[in-house]
Amino acid sequence: MSYNYKNRTCSICGKRIEVFEDCICNKCKEGIKKKDEAIKEKIERFEKMLPLYDPVNHPSHYNSGNIEVLDYIIDKIPDPKSYCIGNVLKYVSRYDLKGTPVQDLKKAIFYLNKTVELIEKESNYEN
């Protein structure tokens, strides 16, 4: 069984091509390169935006007004340290149940750090 090299066509546009190794004509290759570059640019723009989205330290659904919900809670409840420790326990207890274990453990760390911050502020503690 022999292969007819003369009837080779581009797998994208169907145009007849001469080279056996390629299955895509040069015009289609250039189009693919341009699309790849456009996709790379979109990815780079998206990656620049990522620092704006922080589901651990500043979840967007807790920032609808001028103040973060956590800051409001800390300002209003009599024992904000217990609230933060409660959240540490919550996130550590269920970190492997929701499908986002690393994110939940980071949230626990966030609340633990917030507790330390409150204690330091309360007692003017310095390292």
Q: Are 76 and 123 in contact (CB under 8 A)?
A: no
What would the pLDDT profile of 93-125 be if each residue is shown by its tens digit?
Answer: 999 998 889 999 999 999 999 999 999 988 876
Q: Where are the alpha helices (DSSP H) in the chain?
A: 26-49, 69-76, 80-94, 101-123
What would the pLDDT profile of 26-55 be if each residue is shown by its tens digit?
Answer: 777 788 888 888 888 887 777 776 656 677
- Mean pLDDT of all residues in 15-25: 68
Q: Are 89 and 82 in contact (CB under 8 A)?
A: no
> What's the predicted TM-score (pTM) here?
0.52
